[in-house]
Structure 1
Amino acid sequence: MNGDEGGPLNGGPGELDRPGRPGAADAWDARSEGWLLGGGPAAAEGTVGSRRTTRRRGAAADPVKALMHRHRALCERAVDPLEIAAGLEAHGVTDRTAARFRHRDVFSLAEELYARVPRDDGPRPYPEPAPAPRVRADWALLTLLPGAVCAAAVTGVRLTEGRPRLLAAAVGVLAVALAVRPALRRGPLAAPARTPAWRTVTGTRAWTCWLLAYALLGDGLLRAVLDGGPDGLPTGAADGPWPATTAPVLALTLACAPAAWSAHLLTAGARRRLGASRGLEEFTGAVRPLLLGVFALFLGVLTALLALCGAALGEPAGYAAALTLGALLLLARLLAVHNVPPGPTLAVAAAAEAAAVASVLAGRLPGCAFLAAPVDALVDAWGAGGVPALVCGAAALALLFRATGTLTRASAHAPTGDPE
C-alpha cells in the first residue's frame, strides 16, 4: 500500500519519468486514457500515436494524471479500487483533496485511477469486494485452549498443598503461556506479517505479563504492605506469602475466545462497509458504532465470565479491575492486529501499578508518609482493587480514543492479503 514514489501532493517523480525510458510515460498515459474512454485495448493502443504528437498536454488539463504517476505502483498492484482508496487515505488524501481532482470523494477518485491503469487482463473498474475473513475451526479451537489450560492449572493448585502446590502453580503458568501463543498467532488475533521491531514486541509481552501477574497477586501484596509494611508480610500461610486472586485471571484467559470473535466481527463488518461506502466520512461513520458495539459486547461477555468464575471458585470477582484490564488488553490487541502500535500505554499502566506498591513502602520511611497518602485514600474508598481499576481504566480510555481514530479509517481495513 506504500508503493507510491512521492506524496499525494508533493510532486515526487514516478517510475515512468526515469531516464532511459523515452516515450514510456506518454505511452502509458495514452493507454490509460484509452481504458478510461472505454475503448479497450484497441482504443488504448490507437491513442499512443496521437498522444506522442501532443506531449505538451500536461497535468493542468488532466489533474488526475500527475496523481496517477506518483501512485503508479499502488494502482498497478491494487486488486480493486477499494485498495487504492485505502492507500490514498493512508498517504493523506481526503475527500476534500479529491475535490481538487474533480471528484466528489476518494472512492470515486480511486475508481478512476483503477480504471486508467492498463492491465493485461482488461479493465476491472467494479470488481467484487474482497471477501471477509471466514470462521475456521482451527483458530476457533485454539482460542478456547488458554481458558481450558488455566482452569486445569487452577484446579491442580487448589487440590495440592505445600511444595506440590508451588510446583503445580509453576507448571500451570508455563502451560498457560504456551497455550496463549498459538491463539495469538492464528485467526483474528494474529498480528500482520509486518510487525514492529523485536524490542517493541518483547516489551509489549513483558508489560502484558506484568499486568496479568498483578491481577493474580497484586491485590494481596498491596493489602499485606498496607497492613504491616516491609516487616509485616505474613509468612507460612497456606496460600503463600499473600493470597492470590485466581478468578479474574481465569476469566481473562477464558475471554480469549470472545476476544477473537470480537476481532472477527470487527474485521468482517468493516470489510462489508468498505465495499458499500461511497466516501471516507461515510465509512468512518459506519465503522465507529461497529467498533464500539464490538467492544461493549466483549465487556458484557467478560462480565458474565467473571461472575461464573467467582461463583465457581468462591472468590470475589473483582469486576472493576478485571473489566478494565480486559478492555485494555483487547484494545491493544486490536490495534496490533491492524498494524497500529499501542504505544507506551501498557508500559505506563504497569509502571503505575508498581509505583503504587513502592509508594506505600516508601511512606514507611521517616518523614515520607505523604507518599503513601494517595494510595491509602484510594484503598480506603475502593479497596485494593481500586488501584488496578483506576490505572487500567485510564489506559483503556486512552487506547479507546486512539482506536476510534485509527481503526475507523479505510486504510486500517484495506482488502489486501489473505482474508484468513
Structure 2
Amino acid sequence: MSGLGELDRPETPSSPGAWDERSRRSLTDVGGDEGGTDESGSRGAGAVASSRDRQSPSRARRSNADPVKALMHRHRDLCERAVDPLEIAAGLEAHGVTDRTAARFRHRDVFSLAEEMYARVPRDDDPAPRLTNPPAPSVRAAWLLLALLPGVLCAAAVAGLRLTDGRPRLIAAAVGALAVTMALRAALRRGPLSAATRTSGTWTCWLVGYALLGDGLLRTALAGGPDALPDGTADGEWPLTAAPVVALALSCAPAAVCAHLFAVRARRKLTSSRGLADFSASVRPLLLGTFALYMGVLTALLTLTGAVLDEPAAHPQALALGALLLLARLLTVHGHAHSATLVLTATAAAKGAALATLFAGRLPGCDFLAVPVEALVAACGPAGVPTAACGLGALTLLVHASRRLTRASAHAHADAATERPG
C-alpha cells in the first residue's frame, strides 16, 4: 500500500481532449518522447532514426527544418479545439512530455512549445478573449440535494434501529442499508463527485461496514470468540458504532461542495497561469486548503453525532477514513481512478487481515500470528487498527494527489467535470 512507485505509473487520460494512440505515436515520428531516451540516448536515437528512414526525403527535410510544423500537421484538430496554450500544454504533459522533450522541438519548455502551436494554427474566427476571472458555476440545487440525501437517510436508519427490536429491527437495518447505498450511488453519479470512469464501491462499503461493526468484532476476537460478546451485551445484540457512520454520511454534502470549490478555483488558475510550474505552485495550497476544510467539517459532525447518539465520537479512525475516502474520490474525479482503487483495496485488505490473524492465532501453534495486532490494540486500543490502516492509506493518497492533482492535465476539462449530469 505504501509503494508510491506503483501509484505514479502513467494512467490513460479520460478527458475529451486527450490524445489518441495515433497522436501519441506522432511524438516519436517527429522528435521522440520522454520515455524513449535513457542517459546514453541510444534507444531514443534508434527509434528516431528508424522513423526517419521510413519517411520520404521531402518529409524528412520538412521535419528537420521545422519539427513544430510536422507536429502541428498531425495534431491540428487538437490545437484548434484548445481555448488557450495551456490546454495544449496540459495535453502534452498528460502523455509524459517534459521540458527535455520540448528541447527537441527547439523550445525551452513545454509551455513555450504549446504557445507556438496555438499561435500558428489558423482559425476561421478570432478566438474569444481569455478570461482571467471566469464566472464560477453556481452550486446546483439538484446535486446538492442528492449529496444531502445519504446523511438524512442514514440518520433515519439509525433512529429506526434504536426504536425497534427483534425482527422489525433486522428489517429496518436491511431497508436502511439499501436506502443509504442507493442514495450514495446517486450522489456519486451527479455533480462534483461524479466521475467518467465507473468504479466499484465494494471496498468503500467494506470500509464503512468495518466502521460500523469492526470495533465490536475486534473486541469479540480479543475476548475469546463470537460466544463472548463484549461490554456485557445481552440477547444476542451485536454492538454497533453508529456515530462515525452517520457523520461520514452527513459529510457527503460538504465533500461535494469542497470538490466543487477545488475544481472551479483550479480552473480559474488554469486560465490565469503562464506556465505549468506556475500552475502547480498555485494549486498545491488550494488542494491542501480544500482537504483541511473538509477535515474541519467532519470533525464538527463527529462531535455532533457522538453527542446526539451518546456514543464515543471515534475521532481518530473516522477522520482517517474520511480523509481516505475524500482523497480517493478527488483522484477518481480527475482521472486517476487506478491509484485510488489500489489504495482502497490495500486498506480494506489490511483491516480484514487484522481480524483474520486474531482468529487464526487461536489455532494450535499459531499464537504468533495475532501478536502484531494484539500489541497494537494494547498500545492504542481497538481504534488503533482502523486508524493505522486508513491513516497510512490517506497519507499515501495525499502525497500522490499533491503530485497528480497539481498538474494542468488534471484540470484541462474541469468545467465539463463540474457540470457533468451523471
Relative distance call for 1:241 and 1:368 in structure 2 (3 A) is farther
Q: Which runs of 5+ in 1 are unaligned?
A: 14-53
Structure 1 stretch displaced more, 1-10 or 125-134: 125-134
Map 1:4-403 onto structure 2 (within 5 A).
5-7=23-25, 9-11=27-29, 58-120=62-124, 122-124=125-127, 127-128=130-131, 132-192=136-196, 195=197, 201-202=199-200, 205-233=201-229, 237=233, 240-341=236-337, 342-403=340-401
Q: What is the identity, as a one-letter code, of the residue corresponding to 2:362? A: R
Distance 1:260 1:279, change over 3 A: same
Distance 1:189 1:323 in 2: 19
* Partner Cα distance (1:182, 1:371) in 2: 41
Q: 1:132 to 1:67 in 2, by over 3 A?
A: farther
Name the SS for the 2:406 alignment partner: coil
Deviations 1:59-111 (A, max 9, x none): 34433212213423321333433321211111222344435544454333323
In structure 2, C-alpha distance between the alignment counterparts of 1:55 and 1:181, rounded to whole Å: 53
Q: How many residues align?
A: 371
Seen in structure 2, the aligned counterparts of structure 1 residues 155 and 79 have a Cα distance that, compared at 3 Å, is same
CA contact (8 A) 2:317 2:387 kept: yes
Q: 1 or 2 for the larger relative contact order (CA 8 Å, sep ≥6)?
A: 2
Cα distance, 1:417 vs structure 2:
6.3
When residues 288 and 234 of structure 1 are mapped into structure 2, their CA distance, relative to the original with a 3 A threshold, is: closer
CA distance in 1, matches of 2:365, 2:325: 38
Taking a change above 3 Å as real, the CA distance of residues 153 and 343 of structure 1, as seen in their structure-2 partners, is: closer
Q: How far apart in 2 are the matches of 1:416 and 1:162?
A: 49
Post-superposition CA distance 1:151-187 (Å, at most 9, x none): 1111111111222112111111111111111111111
Does the Cα contact within 8 Å between 1:94 and 1:106 map onto a contact in 2? yes
| Structure 2, unpaired ranges of 5+ | 1-17, 32-57
Q: CA deviation at 1:393?
A: 0.6
Give the distance between the partners of 1:90 and 1:257, measured in 2 at CA. Answer: 30
Residue 344 of structure 1 aligns to a residue whose secondary structure is helix
Q: 1:370 to 1:292 in 2, by over 3 A?
A: same
- Take 1:55 and 1:322, find their aligned partners in 2: how far apart are those partners? 62
**Per-residue CA distance 1:395-417 (angstroms, 9 max, x = gap):** 11111111111111100000376
Distance 1:70 1:131, change over 3 A: farther
Q: Which amino acid aligns with 1:80?
A: D
Residue identity opposite 2:62 in structure 1: G
Residue identity matched to 1:393: G
Distance 1:335 1:220 in 2: 32
C-alpha deviation, 1:306, in angstroms: 0.3
**Separation in structure 2 between the aligned mates of residue 330 and residue 417 of structure 1, nearest angstrom:** 20
Q: In structure 2, how many angstroms separate the alpha carbons of the residues matched to 1:350 and 1:216?
A: 14
- Structure-2 change in CA distance of 1:394 and 1:343 (3 Å): same
Q: Distance in 1 between matches of 2:110 and 2:137?
A: 25
TM-score normalised by length of structure 1: 0.82
Measure how far apart 1:230 and its partner are.
4.6
C-alpha offsets along residues 110-151 of structure 1, whole Å, 9 cap, x if unaligned? 23212222233x242854477654311111111111111111
Gap change, CA 1:144 and 1:412, over 3 Å in 2: same
- CA deviation digits over 1:333-361, x for unaligned, max 9? 10110111224211111111111111111
Cα distance change, pair 259–238 in 1 and its aligned pair in 2 (3 A): farther
Tell me which moved more, 225-234 or 125-134: 125-134
Cα deviation code 1:313-334 (max 9, x no counterpart):
0000111100010011111110
Secondary structure of 1:188's aligned partner: coil
Amino acid at match of 2:146: L
Which moves more between the two structures, 233-242 or 218-227?
233-242
Structure 1 residue identity aligned to 2:352 = A
C-alpha distance 316-332 of structure 1, shift in aligned 2 (>3 A): same
- CA separation of 1:270/1:372 partners in 2, compared to 1, >3 Å: closer, same or farther? same
Q: Is the partner of 1:367 in helix, strand or coil?
A: coil
Q: Secondary structure at the match of 1:229?
A: coil
Mean Cα deviation higher: 157-166 or 103-112 = 103-112
TM-score normalised per structure 2: 0.82
- TM superposition shift of 1:2: 1.1
Which protein has the larger Cα radius of gyration, Structure 1 or Structure 2? 1
* Paired letter, 2:342: P
Deviations 1:251-275 (A, max 9, x none): 0000001111111111111111111
Identity %: 65
> Could you tell me how far apart the structure 2 residues matched to 1:153 and 1:187 are?
25
Question: Aligned AA for 1:2?
Answer: W
